[in-house]
Amino acid sequence: MNLLSILAILIIGGIAGYFITKLNKLAGAWLTVLTSLTALFMLFGIKDQIGSTYEFLYFTFELTQIGWYFAFVLCLTYAMSAFYNIYFMDKYLYPNTYTMLYILSLAGSVGLFFAKDFITFFVFWELVVWTSAFIIPLGKSRKSAYIYYVVSSIGSMATLFAILWVYKLTGSLVIREAFSLLDVSTWTAIFIFGLFIFAGLTKIGIYPFHIWLPLAHGSAPHTFSPILSGGLVKLGAYVAYISVVLFPAYDAFSEAWMIFGVPAPIYFLMILGAISIIIGTLMAIRQEDAKKLLAYSSVANGGYILIGILMVDQVTFAGGLLHLFAHAIASATAFLTIAAIAYRTGTTKISELGGMIHRMPITYTVYLIAIISMAGIPPMAGFVSKWLILQGLASKGLLIIAFAAFFGSIGSFMYVFRPLAAVFLGQLAPKYDNLKEAPIFMVIPMVIMTGITLFIGVFPKFVLEMIMKVQVEAGITAVTMNGTAIDIFNGYLDAYHVFVIFGFGFFIALVLFLLMPKARKVDLMDTYTSAEFIYTPELLHYAHDFYAPFERLYENHPSTLSLYSKLSLKLKEIGLFVDYLMMSVKPATTLLWIILFIATVSLGGVLS
Amino acid sequence: MTIMNFVAAFLFVLGAFAFQTSITGVNRKIMARLQKRRGPKWYQQFLDIFKALSKSSISHGWVYDFGVIMALGGIMATVIFIPIANFRAFPNTDNVFIISYVLAVGMLGMAMSASGSGNPWASIGVGRALTNMLAYEVPFMIVVVTMIYSFNTASIGEIAEIQQDLGVLGWNMFRMPLGTIVALISLQGMLGKKPFDSFIAPAEIASGPMVEYGGKHLGMLFILHDLSTFIEISLIVNLFFGGGATFLEFGIKYFVVYTVANLVSGIMPRFKIDQAVVFFYKFPLAAALIQGFIVIFTGWGVTKWL
């Protein structure tokens, strides 16, 4: 068993999936489950081969610790979401294409994480971009797919440019070798670094490239949104890792201007991450669609991950990588619960739902645990990662970043609570009276993911040990652990103790509750209404404009999307002007421009 | 973790409850005098709680019950984490982030239970409470980050000990005066006292989250309220007023801080929720950041101090 066989299974499985789905849709759906689960298990099989290299045709791969960690997170989200295909395959216009692209995008991600040279990296990167760009329009809208593709392409092209530049300077395309040979001035280093990380920033949805996330996540097929948020967005974090650790950015910028002990270019990116946290949080608070709300929360959490990875230190870096895992699982789970609700009710609009807890209690519990983790509340995985990030930021005194981190953290209570209150709690509309719990193969992955979130929240050791290996590989001090506890120089967290103490408190409260007289069960409509007679549950359900007073504070803010549309309008005008000059009725004018163009190009060739 | 730890923790929670409830009773009397009333007996708060617990109650479904239990459980767990004088029920659990986030479990449980009642007033109240939290928590946490940066520890007990070693002038109240002002303003928000009490405003939204509760649910929420007050005041006393070398010293400081907060509340009108947000993101946030930059760039109050 080796890496190449995983890739072979995925690629062959993808192509075979096209034909199998044509024969039988259900078989195709099970194929996605089977291939992604196989990839996940095989990944554990090659765990001991870290450091070995593989070659196939022009492609070269290297099994690294960081690549393994990322591939593990991705395979897990793919495998869990794949179960939903069983129920949703009928609803797609082109199920065979969907199956193929679904498996191929996993192949692309896995190949990309283990790429040894830039060309392999770029080819697999594009494979992911193209496959996902064709899956998104299978959902609600095509426009979002265009925007996703354009934003991704901007990133890819910038990265390609950086790759070619590095190749020109060093003559090597092997990632580690080329970066180690690179010996350039600080300014050149800043340009190469900036261009290379561009693809990462666009993918992870850092401000101002966050516009594609809510559009794509919101309108992608319900089965693919969890993967976009839990998996594909994380590819950006991998690019950030390459550019900041392998580059290595801190050495290259050692002569740059320092802010709080961080080189200015990296600090600038951290500020962008902080802006993403704030914008993601504010926008998530005001969304009316549950999927868009979660998409904006992915923007915010992407900011945390980027900040953590950019720090490349003992604590925050570990926090960033753990947050990547915690958020991938929690966010994918939250998307899956919304998918389950959409499967049963046909809508994801918050204000059209309500009281789902009375019909889908398991889905509710799963969502509850997912959002507890997303909001960073113990005893879930998201708490441990946020704790590490906050401890790291505090130890460096990075106040502005810490401000954004706290804002995002407390703001997340607001936005995650909204679907909880308005979708799951509150009044149950009569039209949903006959609703049933999600089907069994939706419940299974949801419960597994919930278990993982809780387990890692109590015993973070199991993921932190992988991260410690990554830190050793990256040449930085690994985060230190003491038994079940994380023991760092300015803090101590024993998540297991926290869990036990919380359980103890819960036990006392439960005993107190049970000792007191039993409560009388009353109907949901039997509430205090200020002496008003209301018989329609929908009227008694508070779901629309949940945070109206707060939203009013920033409702007239300038929007990034409209800025881009204005820019594109200007670009069109320039195009029209060029069109007017070049494509005039007189052939002589066109000829003149062609001659001038050729002259300029050849002049450029002479000069360089 | 031995059985003794759990016994100690249980007694500590009981003690904290008895202590804070008595002080609440005394403060009800003080407040009454402020309003030229006689006020109830000091143990009236106990009577209220026990009476509520023993009465019959209604339930709106399992999440309505479960939320209350989760809330009280979370708050009790948070109380156990609080270090006082040299007492810690469990070693090494007094990290400031742990405390502020375990506290959130309790808040989430209560919010969940309130929304689960199906009453729109409750949801409105919860929405306001969360907005309020976004306002007061951020400036306060920035001050806390400054403190962790300067003392290189996030343990509340250790921060209190560092202050005690330096004598009265070593209290963070004197070393970080701006930060202390911010924390005291935030405290009004944390306690849900005026001017930041719009989420429980009785006349506007029928007490918000509390609207549906009665009987044992209400009794448990009373206990929850007193315990969370205990957590918040203890945080402030430990972080800014040097904690206490003995239980008595801590108790006196505690009483003073709580009474002052209550008196301020007694003479204040109420902010609307958006006004509260705007307020906190103006002066307190600016002051917190200025305090942070002073400490980080000049070292005044930490490395350069007397």
**Hey, is B106 helix, strand or coil?**
helix
For A394, which of B53, B149, B155 is closest by C-beta distance? B149
Return the structure tokens found at B213.
């509760």
Report the pLDDT value the prediction gives residue B306, as an integer from 0 to 100: 62
Q: How far is Cα A71 from Cα A118, in angstroms, rounded to an integer?
A: 18
Chain B residues with CB-CB distance to A377 below 8 A: 101-102, 104-105, 108
A233 lies in some domain: no
* Nearest chain A Cα distance for residue B68, angstroms: 9
Q: What is the H or E stretch that residue A59 is in?
A: strand A59-62
- Secondary structure (DSSP) of A545-583: TTTHHHHGGGTTPPPHHHHHHHHHHHHHHHHHHHHHHHT
* Nearest chain A Cα distance for residue B142, angstroms: 6
For B63, which of A425, A508, A521 is closest by C-beta distance? A425
User: What mean pLDDT is predicted for residues A387-409?
Assistant: 88
For B73, which of A506, A517, A540 is closest by C-beta distance? A506
Return the structure tokens found at B154.
């996030």
Chain B residues with CB-CB distance to A386 below 8 A: 101
Q: What angle do CA A253, A259, A260 make, to 5 degrees?
A: 115
Q: How far is Cα B8 from Cα A501, in angstroms, rounded to an integer?
A: 12
Residue A541, phi then psi, degrees to nearest 5:
-105, 120
Q: How far is Cα A212 from Cα A209, in angstroms, rounded to an integer?
A: 7
- Please, what is the end-to-end C-alpha distance for chain A in angstroms? 49
Please state, rounded to an integer, the average pLDDT across all residues of chain A.
86
Contact A110, A104 (CB under 8 A): no
For B215, the closest chain A residue by CA position comes to: A519
For A416, the closest chain B residue by CA position comes to: B108
| pLDDT tens string A5-44 | 888 888 998 899 888 888 888 888 888 888 989 988 888 8
Report the pLDDT value the prediction gives residue B209, as an integer from 0 to 100: 81
Long-range contacts for B6-15 (Cβ within 8 Å, ≥24 apart)? B6/A504, B8/B89, B9/A501, B9/A504, B9/B80, B9/B89, B9/B90, B10/A508, B12/B79, B12/B80, B12/B87, B12/B89, B13/A505, B13/A508, B13/B76, B13/B79, B13/B80, B13/B227
Provide, rounded to the nearest whole percent, the portion of chain B with pLDDT above 90: 8
A173 lies in some domain: no
Report the pLDDT value the prediction gives residue A607, as an integer from 0 to 100: 56
Return the structure tokens found at B306.
């007397």
| pLDDT tens string A423-455 | 888 888 888 888 888 888 888 999 999 999 999
Chain B residues with CB-CB distance to A525 below 8 A: 118
**Hey, is B245 helix, strand or coil?**
coil
Q: Do A519 and B95 touch (CB under 8 A)?
A: no
A11 lies in some domain: yes
Q: How far is Cα B151 from Cα B303, in angstroms, rounded to an integer?
A: 10
A370 lies in some domain: no
The residue among A296 and A182 whose pLDDT is bigger is A296
Q: Map tokens 């009397």 to a residue.
A: B29
The residue among A347 and B22 whose pLDDT is bigger is B22
Closest of A237, A165, A225, A152 to residue A195, by C-alpha:
A165
For B133, which of A397, A410, A517 is closest by C-beta distance? A410
Which residues are within 8 A (CB) of A144 and not within 5 positions of it... i.e. 6 or more apart? Answer: A136, A137, A212, A215, A216, A218, A219, A220
Chain A residues with CB-CB distance to B69 below 8 A: 506, 509-510, 513
Q: How far is Cα A503 from Cα A506, in angstroms, rounded to an integer?
A: 5
Report the pLDDT value the prediction gives residue A450, as an integer from 0 to 100: 92
Contact A357, A341 (CB under 8 A): no
Chain A residues with CB-CB distance to B73 below 8 A: 502, 505-510
For B154, the closest chain A residue by CA position comes to: A491
The dihedral of CA A111, A113, A116, A121: what is its sign?
positive
Position A605 confidence tier, pLDDT thresholds 50, 70, 90: low
Return the structure tokens found at A142.
């095509």
A68 lies in some domain: yes
pTM of the model: 0.91
Q: What angle do CA B140, B142, B148 make, to 5 degrees?
A: 110
Chain B residues with CB-CB distance to A517 below 8 A: 54-57, 215-216
* Strand pairing class (A258-259; A262-263): antiparallel
For B218, the closest chain A residue by CA position comes to: A513
Say whether pLDDT at A573 is over 90. Answer: yes
Contact A32, A17 (CB under 8 A): yes
A240 lies in some domain: no
Residue A286, phi then psi, degrees to nearest 5:
-105, 10
Q: How far is Cα A310 from Cα A410, in angstroms, rounded to an integer?
A: 23
Report how far Cα B188 is from the mean position of its chain's Cα atoms. Answer: 9
Report the pLDDT value the prediction gives residue A420, as an integer from 0 to 100: 87
Say whether pLDDT at A156 is over 60. Answer: yes
Tell me the count of A-B CB pairs closer than 8 A: 265
For A498, the closest chain B residue by CA position comes to: B93
For A368, the closest chain B residue by CA position comes to: B112
For A542, which of B124, B217, B278 is closest by C-beta distance? B124
User: What mean pLDDT is predicted for residues A371-381?
Assistant: 87
Strands ordered across the beta sheet of A485-488: A481-482, A485-488, A491-493
Please indicate if any CB of chain A lies within 8 Å of the CB of B87: no
* Nearest chain A Cα distance for residue B127, angstroms: 6
**Hey, is A436 helix, strand or coil?**
coil
Last residue of a domain, one of A93, A111, A129: A111
Quickly count: other Cβ atoms within 10 Å of residue A524's Cβ. 21
Last residue of a domain, one of A60, A88, A111: A111
Report the pLDDT value the prediction gives residue B64, as an integer from 0 to 100: 87
DSSP annotation of B205: H
Mark which residues 119-138 of B lie under 8 Å from A by CB.
Answer: 119-121, 123-124, 126-128, 130-131, 133-134, 137-138
Say whether pLDDT at B305 is over 80. Answer: no
Half-sphere exposure of A570 (CA within 13 A, CB side): 6
Report the pLDDT value the prediction gives residue A608, as an integer from 0 to 100: 54
Residue A483, phi then psi, degrees to nearest 5:
65, -120
Contact A427, A525 (CB under 8 A): yes
The C-alpha torsion from B221 through B224 and B226 to B229, rounded to 10°, is -130
Q: Do A387 and B101 touch (CB under 8 A)?
A: yes
For B217, the closest chain A residue by CA position comes to: A513
Please indicate if any CB of chain A lies within 8 Å of the CB of B65: yes
Q: How far is Cα A83 from Cα A36, in angstroms, rounded to an integer?
A: 10
Position B160 confidence tier, pLDDT thresholds 50, 70, 90: confident
Report the pLDDT value the prediction gives residue A439, as an integer from 0 to 100: 85
Please state, rounded to an integer, the average pLDDT across all residues of chain B.
86
Chain A residues with CB-CB distance to B145 below 8 A: 390, 393-394, 397, 399, 402
Return the structure tokens found at A521.
């069960």
Report how far Cα B90 is from the mean position of its chain's Cα atoms. Answer: 21
Length of chain A: 608
Closest of B183, B134, B175, B148 to residue B287, by C-alpha:
B183
Specify the range with the lowest mean pLDDT, choosing from A209-223, B61-75, B192-206, B279-293.
B192-206
- Which of A372, A385, A417 is the best mutation test for B, with the most CBs of B within 10 A? A417
Closest of B96, B110, B49 to residue B238, by C-alpha:
B96
Q: Do B102 and A407 touch (CB under 8 A)?
A: no
Please indicate if any CB of chain A lies within 8 Å of the CB of B8: no
Q: What is the H or E stretch that residue A487 is in?
A: strand A485-488
Return the structure tokens found at A80.
């869990």
**Hey, is A60 helix, strand or coil?**
strand
Q: How far is Cα A281 from Cα A270, in angstroms, rounded to an integer?
A: 16
Q: Do A501 and B120 touch (CB under 8 A)?
A: no
Q: Which structural domain range is residue A597 located in?
A: 570-607
Residue type (1 letter), B55: K
User: What mean pLDDT is predicted for residues B147-168?
Assistant: 84
| pLDDT tens string B223-233 | 998 999 999 99
A3 lies in some domain: yes
Position A572 confidence tier, pLDDT thresholds 50, 70, 90: very high
DSSP annotation of A232: I
Most confident region among A416-420, A540-544, A577-581 by mean pLDDT: A416-420
Contact A183, A247 (CB under 8 A): no
Residue type (1 letter), A234: K
Which residues are within 8 A (CB) of A42 and not within 5 positions of it... i.e. 6 or more apart? Answer: A1, A5, A6, A9
Q: Is A57 exposed, middle or buried (0-12, 13-18, 19+ CB in 10 A)?
A: exposed
DSSP annotation of A174: B
Chain A residues with CB-CB distance to B216 below 8 A: 513, 516-517, 519
For A549, the closest chain B residue by CA position comes to: B274
Q: Is the peptide bond before B177 cis (omega within 30 degrees of 0)?
A: no
The residue among B25 and B89 whose pLDDT is bigger is B25
CA distances from A145 to A75, A85, A106, A150, A198 (A): 23, 20, 18, 9, 19
For B57, the closest chain A residue by CA position comes to: A519
- Secondary structure (DSSP) of A470-483: HHHHTTSPPPPEET
Mark which residues 281-300 of B lie under 8 Å from A by CB.
Answer: 285, 289, 292-293, 296
Q: Map tokens 């179960």 to a residue.
A: A83
Return the structure tokens found at B101.
């986030």
As for how many domains chain A has, the answer is 2
Report the pLDDT value the prediction gives residue A274, as an integer from 0 to 100: 92
**Hey, is A349 helix, strand or coil?**
strand
The dihedral of CA B73, B77, B80, B82: what is its sign?
negative
Provide, rounded to the nearest whole percent, the portion of chain A with pLDDT above 90: 6
A56 lies in some domain: yes
Q: How far is Cα B234 from Cα B249, in angstroms, rounded to an integer?
A: 12
